[in-house]
Amino acid sequence: MNKLAVELNGVLEGTIAGRMLSDFGRRIYFPKGIVAQSAEADRKATRFNATVGMAFSHGQPLMLPSLRSLLSELSPKEAVAYAPTAGFAELREVWKREMITKNPSLQGKRFMLPVVTPGLTNGIYQTASLFTSPGDVTVMPDMFWGNYRLIFEEQRGGKVVAFPFFDGNMRLNSTELRNALRANSGSGRVTLLLNFPNNPTGYSPSRSEADEIIRTIVEQAEAGTDLLVITDDAYFGLFYEEDTFTESLFARLADAHERILAVKVDGATKEEFVWGFRIGFVTIGSKGLDQPHYAALERKLMGAIRSTISNSSGVAQNLLLRAMKSPTYQAEKVAEFTQLRERYRGLRDMLPKMCEALPKDPASGKRLLEPLPFNSGYFMSFQCNGLSAEALRLALLEKGIGVISIGETYLRIAFASIDAEDLQALYAEIFGTATGIAGRSAG
C-alpha cells in the first residue's frame, strides 16, 4: 500500500470513518504529482509556471474567439482553465454557507468542507467507492432511483436490500426501516441510503416522520452497529407542504452518534436549475471527527476523483459562483420555486376527483390508478391495479405522451416538466388510457 494511503489511514484509525472505508477507500490517496505540484506553483512560481498542461499567452489561457464571444463576461481563466480537483475554494465556501442557511441545525457543527463532483451521480459513486466493498449491504426504500443498483451492485459489487417505503397507512415505514437495519447489521456495519424529496414518489417526511427516522438510526448505532448514512438531496429545497421536514437529514445526523458517518450528496443540478452543469457536492460529518480527520477524508476523496474524472467543469463552477453571488439570486430562486409549487398545488387539488371517477380493479377492489403520497420535488407516482404500468406507458407513448414505468406496478410522472395549464389534459389522457386498457382486458 502506498505510504501516503498508510498515512491517511493512520489519521483515521479508530474512527467511524476509518472503520467504514472500503478496500479501495483504504488504498486510495491523493498523490504529490502533477496536480499537487501545479497547485504549489500557482502560489510560488511568480516568474514562469511551466507545470500544467495548458496553453497560455500573456498570463491567460488560449481561448477560441468564438467561445470568448459566447462567454464574454468570464475571463479566459474562468472560462477554459482546469478547476482544482476538489473544486474552487470560493464556491465550496459559498455552498457551505448556503447549506447552513438552509439547514439551521448545522450551525456550530463541525463537518467537511463540501468537495465538488461532476454531478450528484458521481458524488454517490465516489462515496460508494470510498465506503463500499464487495458484499457490503446498502439498505434503501423500495421506491428508489434505479441508478443506485448500478453503482452499489454492478460498480462496487455490493448488495442492495430494499424495505417497503410506505406502510399500510401510507406513512413512511419506520418499522420496516428498523427491521432492515437490524437484519443486515450482522457484520457490525451497514449502509443506509435515503433520498428526499424522493425519486420516484416525490415524497418527503413530515417532521414527526423525520424524528422517527433519526431515532431509528441512532438506536441501531447505540446497539453497536457502524452506520454509513448517505442522504441523496438532489431535489433539496423543493418542499411544498407546511408539515414537511425542510432540512436535510444530514443536518441531524452529522453529530448524532460516534457510530454514524453521515454523507450529504447534493448539488446545483436541481437546486439551482442547472441540470447540464453537472456540479455536485459531497460533504461528510460525524460526531467525534475533527479537522485532521476531515482533511484526510478530503485527500482520499480527491484521490478518487483524480483517478476517475480528474476534476469537474471549471466554467460551470464559475458561472454557478457568479449566479450565487448575484444580488438577485435569492429572488430568482423564489420565483422558480413558486412556479413549481403552483403546479404541485394544482395537481394535488385536481387528482382526488379524477381518481374517484376511475373504475375499480375487480380483483383488488382498488382504483385502476392510486396516487402514492407526494408533497415535494419533481415527481408523483401511481400504483397500477389490474393493469400493467409498462402497457400503460407504451399506450400513452403512442398518443405522444412520455411517462416512466417502474416494473409492472408503478407509473412515474414528472409534473415539474409540464406547464400548469397542460396538467389537466395530461392526466385526463393518462386516466382515459388506463380505463381503455382495463376495459379491453375485461372484454
Q: What is the pLDDT of residues 141-180, one digit of tens each?
A: 999 999 999 999 999 999 999 999 999 899 999 999 999 9
Q: Which residues pair with 405 in a beta bridge?
A: 411
One-letter amino acid of 104:
P
Closest CA to 239 of 163, 150, 345: 345
Query: From the CA atom positions of the chain, what is the Rg in Å?
Result: 24
CA distances from 32 to 5, 57, 279 (A): 12, 27, 25
379-384 vs 369-371, strand pairing mode: antiparallel
Residue 50, pLDDT score: 73
Q: Are 113 and 299 in contact (CB under 8 A)?
A: no
CB atoms within 10 A of CB 86: 22
Grid cell at residue 95: 455552498
Q: Is 261 helix (H, G, I), strand (E, B) or coil?
A: strand
Residue 49, pLDDT score: 72
Q: At what angle do helices 423-442 and 329-356 cross, to 10 degrees?
A: 30
Residue 149, pLDDT score: 97
Which residues have CB under 8 Å from 106's CB, separation 6+?
99, 100, 251, 254
Residue 391, pLDDT score: 96
Q: At what angle do helices 389-398 and 423-442 cross, to 10 degrees?
A: 120
pLDDT digits (tens, 9 = 90+) for 199-229: 999 999 999 999 999 999 999 999 999 999 9
Q: Which residues pair with 228 in a beta bridge?
A: 191, 261
CA distances from 76 to 60, 63, 64, 68, 354 (A): 6, 6, 9, 7, 55
DSSP conformation letters of 116-153: EESSHHHHHHHHHHHH--TT-EEEEESS--THHHIIII
* The total number of residues written for the chain in this structure: 443
pLDDT digits (tens, 9 = 90+) for 52-111: 788 888 888 898 999 999 999 999 999 999 999 999 999 999 999 999 999 999 999 999
First to last CA, the chain: 68
Q: Is 365 helix (H, G, I), strand (E, B) or coil?
A: coil
Residue that the C-alpha cell 470510498 belongs to: 130
Which residues have CB under 8 Å from 355's CB, separation 6+?
367, 369, 370, 371, 431
- Classify residue 397 as exposed, middle or buried by CB count within 10 Å of its CB (0-12, 13-18, 19+): exposed
One-letter amino acid of 341:
R
Between CA 372 and CA 381 the distance in angstroms is: 6
pLDDT digits (tens, 9 = 90+) for 322-380: 999 999 999 999 999 999 999 999 999 999 999 999 999 898 999 999 999 999 999 99
Taking the CA atoms of residue 50, residue 51, residue 54 and residue 60 in that order, the dihedral angle to the nearest 10 degrees is -60
CB atoms within 10 A of CB 67: 14
Between CA 63 and CA 58 the distance in angstroms is: 12
Between CA 173 and CA 180 the distance in angstroms is: 11
Grid cell at residue 431: 386516466
pLDDT digits (tens, 9 = 90+) for 411-438: 999 999 999 999 999 999 999 999 999 8
- Classify residue 271 as exposed, middle or buried by CB count within 10 Å of its CB (0-12, 13-18, 19+): buried
List the domains of the chain with CATH numbers. Answer: 3-30+85-324 (3.40.640.10), 330-442 (3.90.1150.10)
**CA 391 to the chain's CA centroid:** 30
Q: Are 433 and 399 in contact (CB under 8 A)?
A: yes
Strands (E), 268-349: 280-285
One-letter amino acid of 162:
A
Torsion over CA: 288, 293, 297, 298 (sign):
positive
Kindly report the pTM of this predicted structure: 0.94
108 Ramachandran zone, left/alpha/beta (phi>0; psi -120 to 50) = left
pLDDT digits (tens, 9 = 90+) for 132-147: 999 999 999 999 999 9
60-61 vs 56-57, strand pairing mode: antiparallel
